[in-house]
Structure 1
Amino acid sequence: MGLLFENRKVFFIALFASLGGLLYGYEQGVLSQALVMTSFGKAFPEVRDASKKGWMTSILQLGGWLGALLSGYFAERWSRKHAICGSALSVVLGSYLQAGASNARFVYAGRWFTGLGVGSLSSVGPLYNAELAPPEARGLLVALQQLSIAFGIMVSFWIGYGTNYIGGTGDGQSDWSWRIPMITQGIPAIALAIGVWFLPFSPRLLVSKGREEEAIAVLCSLRKLPADDPLIRTEFLEIKAEAVFQREVLEEKFPHLTNGDGWADSIKLELAQYGSFFKSWHMFKRLAIGCLVMFFQQWTGIDAVIYYAPTIFSGLGLSGKTTSLLATGVVGVVFVLVTLPTVLVIDKVGRRPICLAGSFGMFTCLTILAILVGRFQHSWDSHPAAGWVCVACVWIYAMNFGYSWGPASWILISEIFPVSVRAKGTSISASSNWMNNFIIAFVVPPMLETITYGTYIFFAVFTLMGAGFIFWFVPETANKSLEDMDRVFGSNVAEREAEWLRAVQERVGLTEILNNFVGEEKREIFEDLEEK
C-alpha cells in the first residue's frame, strides 16, 4: 500500500479504479432501496405490478449488455480515455433523468443510459487501469477494483437506509428519500468524466497507433525513471512486442481486412474476430465454458438478492420497511468483508475449490430458505425466530457468493483464452453475464409473487448444476501456463503463439535486453560469493 502514496500517479490510478468500481457497485444496489419506499411507490404506482418492477430493474442490465459489447470497439477505435469519459457521461445523464423523473418513462430512460455507461465501464475501466499500472501494483489494483464494487453496493444500501427517514417512513415521506440516492450516483460519474483527462493515454494504445515516443514519455512519467533506464526499455519493448504480435496475427488470419482504415473495414474485422470462435471446436469449447461460467454465476440468484433484497426481507417477515432496509445494508457489509481476503488467497487455493465450496454453501442456504418460507410464509408473526434464521441464511448466502463465484468467475474467463483472442473471448463472456443478469432482474419479481418459496428451490437447483459444471467441465487455471490450457482443450494454439511471440520479442530487441539483465544478475551473484 505504501507504493500508492510514494507515487502520486499510481495513487490516482488506484483512485480512478475505485471510482469506476464504486459506480458499478452503486448502480447495482440503488434501485432496490427505492422500490420499497412509500414515496417512490406513490410517485410511480407502476412498481406495484411485478412485471413492470422487473422491467424497471432489468433495463439497466439490457443497457449494460450493449455497453459491454460496444466498449471494446470504441476503446480501440478512439482511446480508453475517450471511452471511459463517454461512459461516465452516459451514467451522469441516466442518473439525473432518474433523479428528476416526473413519470416512469424518465426512470426507464435513465436506467437505460446508466446501464450503457456502467456496462462499458465494467470492461474498459479495468483494462485501462491494468495498462497504466506498474507490474508490482497490478494485483493491488485488481483487489481495489473488486473491493470497490462491493463497497459501492454497500454504500447504495446504507444511503437508501438513511434517506428513507426523510419526511418519515409512512405516507408523509418526502420524494427526496429516493431522489437523493439517484442524485448521489451521478457524483462519482462526474468525477470520473473529469478526472480521466488528468491521466495519460494508455502506453499500449499509443504503441499500437505508432506513437512510440509518446508511449515512452508516459512510461517515464508513471515510473519516475529516465527514458534510458533498463526498466523503461524492458517494459516498452514488452508492450511493443505484444502490439506487433497482435498485428501479425490479425494479418495472417484476416489479410483482406487489415489493410483498410475505414469504419466499414474495422467493423468487418471486429466481426471476423468474433466469428473465429465458431470455426474450430477447441475455440468454441473455450467460449462455451466462458459463457456458461457467467451463466451459472448469475443463476445462483445473487443479483436477485442485490436488486430485490428489501423486498425479499419484507417477505421473510421483517416488520417495517426500515428494518428490511437495515437487513439489506448488512448484505453490503458482508460483500465488502469477504471480497478482499479472497482476492489475496485465490491464487493459492485455486478457482475450482473456491467455486465448489461457495456453491455448496449457497445451495445449503437456499434449501433452508425454501423449507422455512414454505412452512411459515403465512405465519411469520407467530414465528419470528424462523424469519431471522431466513435473514441469516441470506447473509451467509451472500458471503458464500462473495468469496467464490464473485471474483473467481471473472478470473476464469480471463485465463482460458489464448493471447490473440483473449479480449474478444472475455468480452463475449462478460456480455453473457449482463444478458443473464437482465433475465434474472426481469423474472424474479413475478417469481417471488407467484411461486414464493419455489424461487429459492429454483436457484438452489441451478447452484447445484453450477457446481457440477465446475467439477466436470471447467479446468483449473490457477498457476497454469497457456500451453497447459492448450493441452486441456486439445489444441496447440498457445504453443504456436508462444513461439511466434518469442520470435517477435527477439526482433524488437526485448530478448537481448532480458539476457543482459540475466547476465548482470549472475555477475552480481558471483561478486557477492567472491566477497564472502
Structure 2
Amino acid sequence: MDEHGVEPKNGGISPTRKIVKLNGYALACAILASTNSILLGYDIGVMSGAVLYIRENLKLSSIQEELLIGSLNVCSLIGSLLSGKTSDILGRRYTIVLAATTFFAGALLMGLAPSYPFLMAGRVVAGIGVGYSLMIAPVYTAEISPAMSRGFLSSLPEVFITVGILLGYVVNYALSGVSSKYNWRIMLLLAAIPAIAVGLGVIVMPESPRWLVMKKRLSEAKRVLVKTSESDQEAEERLGEITRAWELNGSSNNNVGQGVWKELIWRPTRPTRRILVAAIGINFFMQASGNDAVIYYLPEVFKAAGIHKKKELFAINVIMGTAKASCVMISALFLDKFGRRPLLLLGSSGMAVALLVLGLGSKFLEHPTHKPTWAIVICVVAVCADVSFFSIGLGPITWVYSSEIFPLRLRAQGTSLAVSVNRLVSGVVSMTFLTITKKLSFGGMFFVLSGVMVVATVFFFFMMPETKGRNLEDIGKLFEDKRTSDEGREMLDK
C-alpha cells in the first residue's frame, strides 16, 4: 500500500520490487528457527515405538498409555498461550531459546525417569517447550522472510516436524534390538540433541525486524532487512511498509502486547474476527484430522491388522515417514508458485478419500482369524496417502497461514491463541483415540475422520483467501469488506 492507501496491483508488492531469487541469509535464519520444530516431530515419531517398550517395562494400562502420549499435546497448550506475550516482551529470538531449553529439560526427565509419574512430569515440561516452539518458529520465519519466498520459508517448520518424525522412526528401528529396559530411555534422551543445537544456533540469529520496529529500534531493523533483501532500496521499502503499518495500527500503545486479548476476543473488528475464525479453523481441522493420533498409534492399527513383530511395525513407520517427508518438501517448494488455497484444498480432499479407503480396509481386517493380505496392503497404502496429503496441505499451510494473516500488533498473541486450539484438539484426539476405537473399531474411527475432512474442505473453500506474494502488512485487507476498506482509506487520507 502506498502513501495514499492505494493497494498495488501486483498483489501487495511495491511496483519497484522485482521477483527475486531466494535470499540465502533469510533461508539460514528460517532453517535455524525451524530446527526447533524437530523437537515435536521427533517426539511424535519416537513415541509411536517407544510406548510399546514403556508399556511392557512400566506395566501401563491403555488409559495410562493414552495419558502419556496425549499429555505432551495438552501441556503444549500452556506454552502456546504464554508464547505470544513472551515473544512480544522478550523478542522472537529469545523465545526460541526458551522453547529449546524447556524441551531439553523435559527430554532429560523423560529419559531418566525411574517411574511413570516422573515420566509424566517430563512429558509436561517437554510439552510446554513444544508449545513455545510451535508458535514462535513460523512467526519468526514469516516476519524475517521476503514476501515472494515467505510461503516456502514459513513452511520449513512443518518440513522439520516431518524430518523429526522420520528420525524418530529410524531410531525406533535402529534400537529395536536393544534391551527393552534401556532402548526407550535412549530413544527419549536423544531428543535433547536438537534442543542443544537450537540453543547454540540462536547465537548467530538476528532478531525479527518487525519486532525491532515495534520496539522503535529502526536502525537495527534496517540492518536485518538489508541482509534479507536484494538491495538497500528494497530494504528501505520494506522498512517503510512495516513502519507505516505499525504507526497506523499499533504504535498508539506504548507497551507492546498490551490490550491485545481484548482486541482479539472481546471487541474484535469484523476483519479481526474473520482472521481469528480462519486461523482457529485451520488449526482446529489440522488436529481434528487425526493425523497426530494416526502416527502415534499406527503400530496399534497394524497390530490389529495382524502384524505383530516390532521390527516389521517400525519398518512400515519408516516407509510412511519417507512418503510424508517427500510430500512436505514438494509442497514447500511449490507454495509460492501455486499458492496456499489450491494445495490446501488438494490436501484436505485427498485426506478425506484416503481415510475413507483406510476405513474400508480396516473393516475387512476386523475378522478375528481371516485377515487378507490385500486388505493389509490397502491399509498401508492408504495410511501413506493420508499422511502424504496432510503434508501437501494442512501440515505446512497451517503454520504459514497462522503466522502471516494477523496484523503485526496482534500477530504473536493471535498466533499463540490459534496454536493453543491446535494443541488442545491434538491432545483431546490423542488421549481418546484408543478409547473411541474400542467403541467404533479402527474402521469406524477412520470413517469419522474422513467426514471431518469433508467438512474441513468446505470450510477452507469459503473461509481461506489466497495470500501468495503479498506483504504481511497488506494481507489484512483480504479480510475486509468494502465498507471496512473504504473507512480505512478515509482514515489514511486524513
2:111 to 92, 99, 102: 99
TM-superposed CA distance for 1:488, in Å, is 5.9
Deviation at 1:138, TM superposition (A): 4.8
Q: Conserved in 1, the CA contact under 8 Å of 2:222 and 2:235?
A: no
Q: Which has the larger radius of gyration?
A: 1
Matches within 5 A, 1:167-206: 173-206=179-212
Alpha carbons 1:83, 1:124 under 8 Å: kept: yes
Structure 1 position 151, deviation (Å): 0.9
String of CA shifts for 1:374-430, please: whole Å, max 9, x gaps: 233234655222222212211111112111222233334445545554444333222
279-288 or 26-35, which deviates more: 279-288
Deviations 1:315-352 (A, max 9, x none): 22223122111111212111111112212223444434
Answer yes or no: is 1:147 the counterpart of 2:136: no
Asked whether 1:60 is paired with 2:76, we answer: no
CA distance in 1, matches of 2:221, 2:405: 29
Q: Does 1:21 align with 2:33?
A: no
Distance 1:129 1:99 in 2: 31
Native 8 Å contact 1:13 1:133 kept in 2? no
| Post-superposition offset of 1:247 | 4.7
Displacement, 1:32? 1.3
Contact between 1:363 and 1:460, CA under 8 Å: does it hold in 2?
A: yes
Aligned to 1:355: 344
> Residues 34-69 of structure 1, C-alpha deviation per residue, up to 9 Å, x if partnerless?
1123xx2233222x32x2222111111122222122
Deviations 1:70-108 (A, max 9, x none): 112111212222211111110000001000011111111
Q: For the residues of structure 2 that align with 1:133 and 1:472, how far apart are their CA atoms?
A: 27
Which residue of 47, 51, 65 corresponds with 1:31? 47
> Aligned in 2, Cα 1:489/1:313: closer, same or farther, shift over 3 Å?
farther
CA distance in 1, matches of 2:467, 2:218: 34
Structure 2 vs 1, CA of residues 491 and 30 (structure 1 numbering), >3 Å: closer, same or farther? farther
Percent of aligned positions that are identical: 27
Give the direction of change, closer, same or farther, for the CA distance of 1:498–1:130 in structure 2 (3 Å limit).
Answer: farther
The TM-score normalised by the length of structure 1 is: 0.79
Query: Which residue of 453, 464, 473 maps to 2:454?
Result: 464
Higher helix fraction (1 or 2): 1
The TM-score with structure 2 as length reference comes to 0.84
How many residues in Structure 1 have an aligned counterpart in Structure 2?
473
Distance of 1:219 and 1:473 partners within structure 2:
32
Question: Comparing both chains, which one has the higher relative contact order based on Cα–Cα distances under 8 Å and sequence gaps of 6 or more?
Answer: 2
Q: How many Å apart are 1:249 and its aligned residue?
A: 2.4
Q: Which residue of 2 aligns with 1:125?
A: 137
Relative to structure 1, the CA distance from residue 134 to residue 293 in structure 2 (aligned partners, 3 Å threshold; closer, same or farther) is closer
3-state SS of paired residue (1:210): coil
Question: Counterparts in 2 of 1:23-422, with a 5 A limit?
Answer: 23-37=39-53, 40-46=54-60, 48-49=61-62, 51-132=63-144, 138=150, 140-166=152-178, 173-216=179-222, 222=227, 231-232=231-232, 234-236=234-236, 238-239=238-239, 242-243=242-243, 245-250=245-250, 258-259=253-254, 268-275=258-265, 278-379=267-368, 382-414=371-403, 416-418=405-407, 420-422=409-411
Letter in 2 for 1:197: I
In 1, the alpha carbon distance for the partners of 2:288 and 2:464 equals 17
The 3 A distance-change label for structure 1 pair 384 and 489 is same
> Does the aligned pair in 2 maintain the 1:17–1:141 contact within 8 Å?
no
AA in 2 matched with 1:310: P
- Unaligned regions of 5+ residues in structure 2, if any? 1-20
Partner of residue 12, structure 2: none
Against the structure 1 CA distance between its residues 442 and 502, is the aligned structure 2 distance closer, same or farther, given a 3 Å change threshold?
farther
CA contact (8 A) 1:483 1:494 kept: no
State the SS of the aligned residue for 1:286.
helix
Structure 1 stretch displaced more, 60-69 or 197-206? 197-206
Runs of 4+ in 1 over 6 A off after TM superposition: 134-137, 480-485, 498-503
Mapped to 1, the partners of 2:490 and 2:182 lie a distance apart of 61
For 1:136 and 1:356, locate their aligned partners in 2 and report how far apart those are by CA, in whole Å.
21
Note if contact 1:58-1:439 (Cα within 8 Å) is conserved in structure 2.
yes
Aligned match for 2:445, one of 446, 455, 466: 455
Structure 1: stretches of 5+ with no match in the other structure: 167-172, 226-230, 253-257, 504-532
Change (3 A) 1:498 1:301: farther
Structure 2: how far apart are the matches of 1:147 and 1:249? Answer: 33
Offset, 1:233: 6.2
Aligned AA for 2:55? G
Q: How far apart, CA to CA, are the structure 1 residues paired with 2:123 and 2:237?
A: 43
One-letter amino acid matched to 2:455: M
Q: How far apart are the structure 2 equivalents of 1:102 and 1:248?
A: 55
- Cα 1:217–1:333, aligned 2, differ >3 Å: closer, same or farther? same
Contact 1:273-1:424 at 8 Å conserved across structures = no
- Computed over aligned residues only, the root mean square deviation of the Cα atoms, in angstroms, reads 3.3
What SS does the aligned partner of 1:36 have? helix
Determine if the alignment matches structure 1 residue 490 to structure 2 residue 481: yes
Given that 1:17 and 1:144 are in contact with CA atoms closer than 8 Å, whether structure 2 keeps it comes out as no
Q: Contact (CA 8 Å) 1:286, 1:489: kept in 2 or not? A: no
Task: Give the AA of the match of 1:397.
Answer: D
**Greater displacement, 457-466 / 493-502:** 493-502
